[in-house]
Amino acid sequence: MTLKKAYFAGGCFWGVEYHFQKMAGVKDAVSGYMGGSTDEPTYEDVCTGTTGHYEVVEVTYDPDEISYRDLARLFFEIHDPTQEDGQGPDIGAQYRSAIFYTDEEQLETVESLIMTLKLRGFDVKTRLIPAGRFWKAEEYHQDYYERRGGLPYCHVRVKRFD
């Protein structure tokens, strides 16, 4: 079994992590940071909006059980990819919508999905960025909804694909 990685930023990482953890074929979903200029950023660093990091979920999956396309489709359905600078009540650079792709196949898959959404009238603001170093967030951010109970408040699945 060869596992692969995917990186999604769609607002607060708690809700994104929650939805990916529920998918068959996903072996792990970890909250963290990517895209910034600071090594070993903390939540407090990222929240200043000055480091350039996004709140990101690293998804480890088995491509024999779930495709990258299905992961990316879920991503576009659990957040609002048309919101420019945040998600719901969470406003700021760290909450922007982005996909950090690891190879050309991932990039082409996401570009195809974005084209489908645009043809359906969505003004997609999701940024496509080459993946860089992933920094795992503090332990108190991991498995947030599983530990605390409840459901994500700004990540509700809305079907956008057939």
Is residue 47 among the annotated active site residues? no
Answer whether 65's CB lies under 8 Å from 24's CB: yes
Handedness of CA 160, 157, 154, 15 (dihedral sign): negative
Task: Give every CB contact of residue 87 below 8 A, 6+ residues apart in sequence.
Answer: 10, 11, 12, 79, 80, 95, 97, 154, 155
CA distance 120 to 14: 28
Which of the following is catalytic: 6, 9, 12, 78?
12
Catalytic positions: 12
